[in-house]
Amino acid sequence: MPAYPALRYPRWAYEAALSWKDFENDWSLINVLLISTEMVERAISLTRRYHLRTYNAVHLAAALT
């Protein structure tokens, strides 16, 4: 992280702006997928079989589909 410049804004505002900039830069690397019935069924199966949290099971199902 770059050194905190002496600005009139609080440090948290500066860090929030950096985080937002990082998010915008990373957005082009994110793949948005439509959730299909097959993916939901696979996520349910993964949740039951491996005791995953729902969010993790959906991500894993998306990767496996």
For residue 47, give both structure tokens: 């949740």
| b/e sequence 23-47, b meaning 16+ C-beta within 10 Å | eeeeeeeeeeeeeeeebeebbeebb
pLDDT, position 12: 82
Contact 59, 37 (CB under 8 A): no
| Higher pLDDT pick, 38 / 6 | 38
Is residue 1's pLDDT more than 60?
Answer: no
pLDDT, position 14: 80
